[in-house]
Structure 1
Amino acid sequence: MPADDTVPASGAASTARLFYALWPEPPLREALLAHQRAWSWPPGVSLTRPERLHMTLHFLGELPRALLPALAAALPPAQAPFGMLLAQPVLWRGGLAVLLAPEAPAALVELHSRLAAALHALGLPTETRPFAPHVTLARRAHQARPPLQFDPIPWTARGAVLVESVRPHGGYRVLAEAPG
């Protein structure tokens, strides 16, 4: 996915809500949507919109835009493709419905660790909970029921992207991707 080189307009916010992620290609996004449709959803659920499906590696939060060049430069080069299986539908506390990769491949763990080291080098904190690679399918999904049977979804990835959560409409914009 190409990076969006849009420069914030004059008077734009001096901060941005950011995260590092793995970004699915269109065929994978379609498979995730098919899996999402197979769930039984309760009234009031908030399904993740197709263009927002991703796997968060590190949530950075609201940061000064002045850090964007350093955060983009911290992306490790794209590596040899690595695969994982999204194979475990789970309803987490708080009504979060996710599709989990129960076994994180070594390359994904290494990518997550390299990004954490880069963030620490920039003086930024990282999440203290263990990394659980997943894609969020819905929020406010209390009492949702996952499909009884489904084929695990293979994901082949190469590198991370830096993403901005764009307000007020709530879309995402890829700002930078792993070089190479």
Structure 2
Amino acid sequence: MSAQPDTARLFLALWPIEPVRDQLRAWRDAWTWPRGATPVHTDKLHVTLHFLGNQPTARLPDFLDGFQVPFEPFDLQFGRAALQRSGIAWIEPLSEPQGLLDLHARLSDALMALGLVPEARAYRPHVTMARRANGAVIPAAGPAIDWRVERYALVESRSGTYTVLREYA
């Protein structure tokens, strides 16, 4: 589902720095993928905080400013692989630190202040490794990933490319 010319397909995410991105790639490459699986390209590995969908580009200035929320850096540790019945392969954090839950909640409030509705389903932080991955062999273990989260980002998805529109520290 691509964005219309006067809309932007947006999401808020934890956007990894290069050393973390390299560790995420190593996790992705530790899986054995079945034919037809589509591993996520290294430059797209991230943790979604909120998916906004297609939004009018005229609202971008409001969004750029409106998603600046109070934020305390926190540590996120990954180390658990999972394969969903839907065929999505991902890795999950070993725990959900309070800083992550606080950031997610503050961004939910920011969404509502901007007239948007946060997703109703429970938040499950993860990094998607591949889609259409039913039958993948889950690695017994991957590299320990200790991610010091010091920023988050508003990201646009257009024609298969992700563009960070603004980082918030």
TM-score tier, shorter chain, comes to over 0.9
User: How does 1:27-38 map onto structure 2 within 5 Å?
Assistant: 27-38=19-30
Contact 2:21–2:45 (CA under 8 A) maintained in structure 1: yes
Match for 1:155 among 123, 132, 147? Answer: 147
Q: Return the alpha-carbon distance in structure 2 between the equivalents of residues 55 and 150 of structure 1.
A: 17
Match for 2:6 among 14, 30, 36? Answer: 14
Query: Alignment partner of 1:87: what SS?
Result: strand
Q: Return the alpha-carbon distance in structure 1 between the equivalents of residues 70 and 144 of structure 2.
A: 25
Q: Return the alpha-carbon distance in structure 1 between the equivalents of residues 137 and 94 of structure 2.
A: 19
Give identity over the alignment, percent.
43
Contact 2:69–2:107 (CA under 8 A) maintained in structure 1: no
Match for 2:163 among 155, 173, 178? Answer: 173
Contact 2:7–2:55 (CA under 8 A) maintained in structure 1: yes
How far apart are residue 76 of structure 1 and its match? 2.8
Q: Return the alpha-carbon distance in structure 2 between the equivalents of residues 30 and 59 of structure 1.
A: 24
Runs of 4+ in 1 over 3 A off after TM superposition: 77-80
Normalised by the length of structure 1, the TM-score is 0.87
How far apart are residue 122 of structure 1 and its match? 1.3
Match for 1:120 among 112, 115, 119? Answer: 112
Contact 1:75–1:160 (CA under 8 A) maintained in structure 2: no
Deviation per CA, 1:106-156: give whole Å up to 9, x if none. 111111111110111111111111111100000000011111133431111
Q: Return the alpha-carbon distance in structure 2 between the equivalents of residues 78 and 152 of structure 1.
A: 28
Q: Return the alpha-carbon distance in structure 2 between the equivalents of residues 80 and 120 of structure 1.
A: 21
Normalised by the length of structure 2, the TM-score is 0.93
Structure 1, unaligned runs of 5 or more: 1-11
2:162 is matched by which residue type in structure 1?
Answer: Y
Q: Which moved more, 1:33-42 or 1:80-89?
A: 80-89
Q: Return the alpha-carbon distance in structure 1 between the equivalents of residues 71 and 8 of structure 2.
A: 27
Q: CA RMSD in A?
A: 1.5
Structure 2, unaligned runs of 5 or more: none
User: How does 1:21-170 map onto structure 2 within 5 Å?
Assistant: 21-77=13-69, 79-167=71-159, 170=160
1:16 is matched by which residue type in structure 2?
Answer: A
